[in-house]
Chains A and B, each alone.
Chain A
Amino acid sequence: ETGVTQTPRHLVMGMTNKKSLKCEQHLGHNAMYWYKQSAKKPLELMFVYNFKEQTENNSVPSRFSPECPNSSHLFLHLHTLQPEDSALYLCASSQDLVGSSYNEQFFGPGTRLTVL
Chain B
Amino acid sequence: GQSLEQPSEVTAVEGAIVQINCTYQTSGFYGLSWYQQHDGGAPTFLSYNALDGLEETGRFSSFLSRSDSYGYLLLQELQMKDSASYFCAVLLDSNYQLIWGAGTKLIIKP
A interface vs B, CB < 8 Å?
4, 40-43, 45, 48, 56, 90, 92, 97-98, 102-110
As a 0/1 sequence over residues 72 to 96 of chain B, the CB contacts with chain A under 8 angstroms (1 = contact) are 0000000000000001010100011
| Contact between B33 and A102, CB atoms less than 8 A apart | yes
B12 CB to closest chain A CB, in angstroms? 20
Question: Which residues of chain B are near A42, meaning CB under 8 Å?
Answer: 4, 87, 99-103
Q: A40-B8, A42-B4, A97-B96 are in contact. Are A102 and B42 (CB under 8 A)?
A: no
B interface vs A, CB < 8 Å?
4, 8, 30-31, 33, 40-45, 48, 50, 87, 89, 91, 95-103
Question: Which residues of chain A are near B98, meaning CB under 8 Å?
Answer: 43, 45, 105
Question: Which residues of chain B are near A4, meaning CB under 8 Å?
Answer: 42
Question: Which residues of chain B are near A45, meaning CB under 8 Å?
Answer: 97-98
Q: Is the interface of A mostly helix, strand, loop or mixed?
A: loop
What total count of A-B pairs have CB within 8 Å?
49
| Contact between A107 and B44, CB atoms less than 8 A apart | yes
Q: A43-B100, A102-B50, A104-B48 are in contact. Are A110 and B95 (CB under 8 A)?
A: no
| Contact between B41 and A56, CB atoms less than 8 A apart | no
Question: Which residues of chain B are near A110, meaning CB under 8 Å?
Answer: 42
Q: A40-B102, A42-B4, A45-B97 are in contact. Are A90 and B42 (CB under 8 A)?
A: yes
Q: A105–B35 Cα gap in the complex (Å)?
A: 10
Cβ contacts A to B, 8 pairs, < 8 Å? A40-B102, A56-B97, A90-B43, A102-B30, A102-B33, A102-B48, A102-B91, A105-B98
| Contact between A105 and B100, CB atoms less than 8 A apart | no
